[in-house]
């Protein structure tokens, strides 16, 4: 058996810790599994972007992909999942707080795109990138460790499956809008 890359005294990086996993009955088809896969993609893009910071052309392409993916993910997640969670007394406030976090993360990545296009100094860009990355990773962990388990308990398997389908359709629409630079937010945002 291969040894763990972590020593007994060293805690694994937060991105390597197991996140919420839906039951086998829901795995692969429910909204929570879909969002977990999305988060893994976002973590990959953030890591990849950190690896190519010194390559402006590749960095710009990766940043545009991340921007479109994150902004459309947030809009669809709010429209599909959060709208249901806000209606529940147990998850009302945490869901509203997550919407505010989405707005902060979206604003940070928009600023990052502007800085990248404006030719700002590299040090300033890197500081802003690592601030954005930390905020995005904190938000994903908070969702996975608190909001998703509550949603799993509150939403039926059938509702989770229907939400997954609705999420993909919603995200596709918002991704096109994000790429066109005309991201529209759900009402109330």
| Mean pLDDT value across residues 79-89 | 94
Would residue 157 count as lying in a domain? yes
The total number of residues shown for the chain amounts to: 189
Domain that holds residue 106: 26-179
* Percent of the chain that is helix, strand, coil (3-state, to 5): 75, 0, 25
Would residue 163 count as lying in a domain? yes
Separation between Cα atoms, residue 183 and residue 144, nearest integer Å? 25
Separation between Cα atoms, residue 87 and residue 102, nearest integer Å? 19
Whether the pLDDT of residue 72 is over 60: the answer is yes
Highest mean pLDDT among 5-9, 59-63, 68-72, 172-176: 68-72
* Count of domains forming the chain: 1
| Average pLDDT in the chain | 82
pLDDT, tens digit, for every residue of 14-51?
A: 444 344 444 434 345 799 999 999 999 999 999 999 99
Whether the pLDDT of residue 13 is over 70: the answer is no
Domain with residue 125: its CATH number is: 1.20.120
Taking the CB of residue 127, how many other CB atoms lie within 10 A of it?
A: 12
pLDDT, tens digit, for every residue of 128-175?
A: 999 999 999 999 999 999 999 999 999 999 999 999 999 999 999 998
Nearest to 103 by CA among 12, 2, 189: 189
| Mean pLDDT value across residues 99-127 | 87
Would residue 16 count as lying in a domain? no
């Amino acid at each position: 058996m291969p040894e763990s890359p972590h020593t007994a005294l060293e805690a694994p990086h937060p991105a390597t810790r197991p996140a919420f996993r839906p039951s086998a009955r829901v795995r692969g088809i429910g909204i929570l599994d879909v969002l977990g896969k999305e988060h893994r993609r976002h973590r990959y893009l953030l890591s990849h972007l950190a690896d190519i910071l010194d390559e402006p052309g590749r960095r710009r392409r990766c940043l545009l992909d991340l921007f479109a993916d994150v902004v459309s993910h947030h809009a669809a997640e709010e429209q599909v999942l959060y709208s249901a969670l806000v209606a529940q007394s147990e998850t009302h406030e945490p869901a509203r707080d997550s919407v505010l976090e989405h707005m902060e993360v979206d604003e940070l990545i928009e600023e990052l795109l502007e800085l990248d296009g404006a030719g700002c100094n590299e040090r300033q860009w890197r500081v802003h990138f690592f601030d954005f990355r930390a905020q995005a990773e904190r938000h994903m962990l908070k969702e996975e460790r608190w909001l998703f388990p509550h949603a799993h308990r509150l939403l039926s398997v059938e509702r989770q499956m229907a939400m997954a389908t609705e999420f993909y359709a919603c995200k596709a629409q918002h991704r096109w809008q994000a790429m066109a630079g005309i991201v529209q937010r759900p009402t109330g945002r």
